[in-house]
Amino acid sequence: MILLLKATYYEILKIFNRMRTYIGFATVTLLVPMIMYLAHRFGFDVQDQALRALGDSVMFVGTLVNGLLVSYYLMNVLWVHFPFFIVLVGGDIMAGEAAAGTFRVLMTRPITRFQILTSKFIATFFYTAVIVFYLGIVCIGSGVMIVGGGDLFVFDKGILILSQNEALFRFLIAYGLAVVVQMVVAALTFFFSTIASNGIGPIIGTYAVLVVSLILSVIQIDVLDTVRPYLFTTYFDVFFAPFADPIPWREIVQKSLCLGGYIIGFYILSLLVFIRKDILS
């Protein structure tokens, strides 16, 4: 266990010593505050769209737009593009070692293949959790500072009004679930990285699977109803659930367990491949 913890620590250091690791952090740091400033300076038309959709049943004086509302919509928009930052790092963590020929050096130490792979998998999970929560902190922090705080109005089959404290609690749950979602992407990339000998293949392979799976998950064709329960992207909307009233805890648990099954499955497949793999360089 001590050896595994040490190996994990060094894998985390290796991840954060690579320049590509900071592409995601830099993008979030620059893009999110810029969007918040633009929303504050030029307005955010989601309020008018929502009120038009509700018709004459609601009359509202003032503005619904604040940093929490913009953060909510950013979370809805960015989740489709966010996996790029995950696959960029996860695709290289195993394949990079194979390309550099350093696996044989690693195995000269008193460490098993199980410990090597597991330490890299845990390090990938750590990076995924850090960048997802970093996105949350930057969104909500810059949103409150630039656009302002207040109640969160969620438009979903009516209006749900959440106090600022309640909204922050639900954001915390949502970003925790987003970690689970993005970890499925990371685990899939990790599996491809275990098979490949360069970092490009896992990135392309993961995105190909994601695109196909997303299309099959959302396209309205009756015959695909039997396929959707087996697609991991079917459960990717789980982190929207905390903004329903009441919070559908059973749905959240069921979808999280399904996603967790995929994470474990990809980990086991990666382990089986790596244990049987011939390390020639």
Taking a C-beta distance cutoff of 8 angstroms, is the pair 135, 82 a contact?
Answer: yes
Residue 24 lies in a domain: yes
In whole angstroms, what is the distance from residue 152 CA to residue 183 CA? 28
**DSSP conformational letter for 263:** H
Residue 237 lies in a domain: yes
Q: What is the mean pLDDT of residues 227-238?
A: 90
Q: Which pLDDT score, from 0 to 100, does residue 58 have?
A: 54
Question: Domains in the chain: how many in total?
Answer: 1
Enter the pTM of the model.
Answer: 0.89
pLDDT (tens digit per residue) in 63-118 = 678 889 889 988 877 777 888 899 988 888 887 766 666 666 666 667 788 888 99
Residue 21 has pLDDT above 70, yes or no: yes
Per-residue confidence band for 280, with pLDDT thresholds at 50, 70 and 90: low
User: What type of residue sits at position 193?
Assistant: S
90: nearest Cα among 154, 168, 5, 21: 21
Q: Which domain holds residue 266?
A: 2-275
Q: Which pLDDT score, from 0 to 100, does residue 56 have?
A: 52
Residue 281 lies in a domain: no
Residue 280 lies in a domain: no
Residue 100 lies in a domain: yes
Residue 73 lies in a domain: yes
pLDDT (tens digit per residue) in 251-262 = 999 999 999 999
In whole angstroms, what is the distance from residue 128 CA to residue 37 CA? 27
More confident residue, 151 or 48: 151
Q: Which pLDDT score, from 0 to 100, does residue 95 have?
A: 75
Widest pairwise Cα distance in the chain: 73
Residue 168 lies in a domain: yes
**Distances from the Cα of 75 to the Cα of 85, 117, 132, angstroms:** 15, 31, 10
Residue 221 lies in a domain: yes
In whole angstroms, what is the distance from residue 165 CA to residue 144 CA? 12
Taking a C-beta distance cutoff of 8 angstroms, is the pair 69, 44 a contact?
Answer: yes
Q: Where are the alpha helices (DSSP H) in the chain?
A: 2-16, 21-42, 46-54, 67-78, 83-93, 95-100, 103-106, 113-146, 164-195, 200-218, 249-276
